[in-house]
Amino acid sequence: MRSWHASDIPSLSDAGLPAATRPLRLHDTGTGTARQVEPQATARMYVCGITPYDATHIGHANTYVAFDLVNRVWRDLGHRVHYVQNATDVDDPLLERAQQTGEDWRSLADREIQLFRDDMTALRVLPPDQYVGAVEAIPLIVEMIEKLRAKDATYEVGGDIYFPVATDPDFGQVSGLSRAGMVPLFAERGGDPDRPGKRDPLDALLWMARRPGEPGWESPFGEGRPGWHVECSAISVEYLGMAFDVEGGGSDLAFPHHEMGASHAQVATGERPHARSYVHAGMVGLDGEKMSKSRGNLVFVSRLRRDGVDPMAIRLALLAHHYRSDWEWTGAELESASARLERWRAAVARPSGPAAAPVVDAVRAHLADDLDAPSALAAVDAWAAVHGTDTSAPAQVRALSDALLGVVL
């Protein structure tokens, strides 16, 4: 599928600033520790994309802005970044929504994906190099299921194909959860632990035989559609290979989604790990509950934009929270972000300011430390709060904010 427009990133060295040196450390969910990610010249990242209905709410935006920081920090360090994202353009919740409203599921998905592209462009989230829909990935998905079948890592229940988790000795390492911790999450997040005929309640659906009234595609296992986890597993392995640097998404994807995807990939290829680090953003809530399409308690980026809110203020409101924290969206978030944006804009519009090198160093240090954006913003606040005599500083801080924080002043 078409990705979206990449906003320009100013070069900090052209702005007269020194090169970045501090490697990025990110919190890895499975080990529960912050680890240095050590990408090669080309850093490789996969971030799970939207299921295209009710896009783009503030929770989605928070997750994509978090991984956009990873992308920007890597680029600042001189890496090329190979970034891949999917869109789950056929799945149960999308089909259910289309059925409820009587809309064709394809037009619903197309419209929401376009809305998402527009929101991401407005928020200056750098686009993936490959933006891949589940439907267009069906041949890749079938190929992965065939590989699993050849390794005796599939079985059938009532025409549907399952993956036995027992075939992956590393199952559990992505989320770091015990079995007792997994079972309730599996049921809550789209799994079917109680289905009769499964060998293990946690075994994951790879291919679902076509149900009446639903779309289906021909495959060696009969007409049907792909399960959810194998979609991201197949797309990531096809475009990035194994042992790519970061797999990302919101914390609700750690289990079962990223756990299952890793097991599928590891068993299908015989290589490990699927990703070197599994990184998860916190959940944004509204009125005491996780913001989610199924609950309907949503604040949309497009709605805020239509109401005249500056997308850079939305971005600053998100960056004011550490990406791993769970937090609640309120109108006050936006007010303080808008005030901060005004202060920063006023400061870079001055003819001179305090020297930029210390604030550049501070922003880089905070972002390298597991993306501590709130501290990075505080460093820019401190710079903007005082006057100075360095005439190159305002342009340098403008370039810093644009390149590393994605906030155009």
Lay out the site mask for ligand 5CA across 230-249 (x = CB under 6 A, - = otherwise): --x----------------x
Nearer to ligand 5CA, 234 or 363 (CB): 234
What would the two tokens of residue 108 be? Answer: 């619903």
d(CA 409, CA 255): 38
Q: Count how many Cα atoms sit within 13 Å of the Cα of residue 185 in the half-sphere of its side chain.
A: 18
51 sits near ligand 5CA (criterion: CB under 6 A): yes
d(CA 4, CA 23): 28
Q: In angstroms, what CA-CA distances link 105 with 37, 52, 288?
A: 39, 10, 31
d(CA 284, CA 157): 37
Minimum distance from residue 349 beta carbon to Zn ion (Å): 42
Residue type at position 270: G
Nearer to Zn ion, 79 or 258 (CB): 258
- Which does residue 310 touch among Zn ion, ligand 5CA, none (CB within 5 to 8 A, set by kind)? none
d(CA 112, CA 106): 10
- Residue-wise over 311-335: b if at least 16 C-beta within 10 A, else e? bbbbbbbbbbbbbbeeeebeeebbe
Coil, helix or strand at residue 398:
helix
How many degrees, rounded to 5, is the angle at CA 16 between CA 15 and CA 22? 95
Residue 246 has phi, psi (to 5 degrees) of -140, 130
Lay out the site mask for Zn ion across 212-251 (x = CB under 5 A, - = otherwise): --------------------x-------------------
Lay out the site mask for ligand 5CA across 250-279 (x = CB under 6 A, - = otherwise): x-xx--------------------------
49 sits near ligand 5CA (criterion: CB under 6 A): yes
Lay out the site mask for Zn ion across 31-70 (x = CB under 5 A, - = otherwise): -----------------x----------------------
406 near 124, Cβ under 8 Å? yes
Nearer to ligand 5CA, 4 or 383 (CB): 4
Q: Rule CB under 6 A: choose which of 29, 71, 86, 219 binds ligand 5CA.
A: 86
Nearer to ligand 5CA, 36 or 294 (CB): 294
Interface residues with Zn ion (CB under 5 A) are 48, 232
Contacting residues toward ligand 5CA, per CB under 6 A: 48-51, 59-60, 62-63, 86, 88, 232, 249-250, 252-253, 281, 283-284, 290-292
